[in-house]
Chain A
Amino acid sequence: MSAILEVSHVTRRFAGLVAVNDVSFTLNQGEILGVIGPNGAGKTTLVSLISGTLPPTSGEISFEGHPITTLPAYRRARLGIGRTFQIMRPFPGLSVLDNVAVGALFGQGGGESDLKRARERAREQLEFVGLARHADQRADELGGPSRKRLELAKALAMQPRLLLCDEVMAGLNLVEIDEVIEVIRRVREQGISILVIEHVIKAIKSLSDRLLVIHHGEKIADGEPDAVLSDSRVIEAYLGRRRA
């Protein structure tokens, strides 16, 4: 298996706080890598560093063998990195369909130039994530669970080769979580590599090929989900010292 994403010794400091500290890992072609960690561990910062909305303080990131550390976010999107936002950020005044169409118009490889074709592609993605009947609604009229799906559809319309999912299951009920897991599995079947950040450990365990655990900005474990979740350092990070 070849690596699609390589993160090496990446650090991000915010005045006085080290949000991500010397983190290195690789994500292989076609793999689903789960990233877990307690609140404030630096997971979202990590996604922002990879997608390019934040520059790292130090370290290198490469995508498909090319260094992307200094590339702006839109260039990374065109190379094929799509992301969803934990704090959902649709284009509120646009219809759900047009929200997704933006992904098809831009996205990987520079996207579609024809608006009509972009909307067709957007409609396919809405069907894929199960939002087709909301296509003509304004995005800010959607409820929470639907917004999570919209985030996914927007990123998928970009036809990414790497998808970064920032807590797409947070706030969903068990049925909805299963549905989203199913969608993510089908995304992987299309050959898209995926990095999933999640709080719901049960969900991420069944979904991921490999798990990465971050605590206080540092990587504390990386490996098979079962082995990682029984690691004493991981249990300590989640439940405190006495339980470990």
Chain B
Amino acid sequence: MKALWLILVLLALVALAALPWYGSDVLIQFGISTLLLAVLAQGWNIIGGYTGYASFGNSVFYGLGSYGVAIAMVQWNLSFGFGMAFGVVLAVVFAFLLGIPVLRLKGHYFAIATLALAQVMAAIVSNIPLAGQNIGLVLPPLNNDRLFYELSLGLLVLATLTVFWLTRSKFGFGLIAIRENEEGAAVMGVNTTRYKVLAFALSGVFTALAGGIHAYWITFLDPESAFDISLNVKMIIMAVFGGPGTILGPVVGAFVLSAISEFLSSEVTSIAGLFFGVVVVAAVVLMPRGIADVIRRFRTSGWRYFAENIKAHRL
């Protein structure tokens, strides 16, 4: 069973890696944005899925990663690689500075506090001349979607391997213990503050890298789009749809929802958002623990699984 999973994942990976050689330009572009969204969902999975802190501050990491690349390339004439590293440094510094006070809050309070962070960052960046203030920055165009695609795929693989490592490491066990019962984890010797901040930073590293790739690909960014809170909502929906706290759930969630969203906006264009909302609501009602849980339970419960979920939530 485990071997079968591994073969399936490897086959899917090969098919994905080869896509730029057989897919159309439109498909490659769809692929880049989907892969980057999957990285975001996987990054959120570390803090939200494994540690149990529903962060709305991940779009700040995304924005910092974008601006790291843009500032390095436009203002300092440095390489893309340096920009990515700069973005990561910004994200990690942010995770430590704000993670320490904000991660003291729990549940809804944590969510609300992080929700404000993106708005604040957008306002701050709008006033920094180095970041192009509220006009934004235009990056040197690089017309090589194949490269962006493979970069995004590589990043997604790296993020997923990191999450895989989490599930079999002491660090990951500490995070799961915090999610399951934070006080219980502390009395068993888990340095909860340190673990939470590290998880926030690790989540931020992948999110910032995705932001950096996206900025170079799109070649333009401004504070509004870089620190967009709806992007944060998207990553949460994707991670939860697929199965938070699982290795592949957020990736599958991102792929499936991106495909549905793309299909809807080409078929029913003007009311695509409405249909997408219906899909999300149906998912939450029928499979509140995500696709991963459906796969696990469907074999034993069959179609009853969905009925049980409806009943369990008194709907």
Contact = CB atoms under 8 A, between A and B. Distances in A.
Interface of A: 51-53, 72-74, 76-78, 82-83, 85, 89-94, 98, 101-103, 105-108, 110-113, 115, 118, 154-155, 158
A115 B168 contact: yes
Contacts of B192: 74
A134 B190 CA distance: 25
B179 to A, nearest CB: 8
B169 A52 contact: no
B187 A73 contact: yes
A106 B169 contact: no
Given A74-B192, A91-B180, A94-B180, A115 B170 contact: yes
A107 B187 CA distance: 8
Contacts of B181: 89-92
Contacts of A89: 181, 183-184
Interface string B156-189: 0000000000001110011011001101111111
Given A89-B184, A93-B180, A74 B190 contact: yes
A83 B189 CA distance: 11
A115 B176 CA distance: 14
Contacts of B174: 102, 105-106
Contacts of B75: none
B183 A106 contact: no
Nearest to A81: B187
24 contacts: A53-B183, A53-B187, A76-B187, A77-B187, A82-B188, A89-B181, A89-B183, A91-B184, A92-B180, A94-B177, A98-B173, A102-B177, A105-B173, A106-B174, A106-B190, A107-B189, A108-B189, A110-B189, A111-B189, A115-B169, A115-B173, A118-B170, A155-B188, A158-B189
A72 B186 contact: yes
Contacts of B191: 74
A116 to B, nearest CB: 9
Nearest to B178: A91
A94 B50 CA distance: 12
Contacts, number: 83
Contacts of A53: 183, 186-187
A82 to B, nearest CB: 8
Contact of B187 (A51, A91, A93, A111): A51
Residue from A73, A94, A103, A112 whose CB has the most chain B CB atoms within 10 Å? A73
Contacts of A115: 168-170, 173
B180 A103 contact: no
A108 B185 CA distance: 13
A77 B188 CA distance: 6
Given A53-B183, A105-B170, A94 B176 contact: yes
> What are the 6 closest A-B residue pairs judged by CB atoms, nearest first?
A106-B189, A91-B180, A77-B189, A73-B186, A89-B184, A107-B189
A51 B168 CA distance: 28
Nearest to A88: B184
A67 B168 CA distance: 36
Nearest to B167: A115
B184 A74 contact: no
Nearest to B245: A93
Given A91-B176, A94-B176, A115-B168, A102 B188 contact: yes
Residue from B176, B186, B187, B191 whose CB has the most chain A CB atoms within 10 Å? B187
Contact of B189 (A74, A113, A118): A74
Nearest to B195: A74
A229 to B, nearest CB: 31
Interface in B83-142: none
Contacts of A110: 189
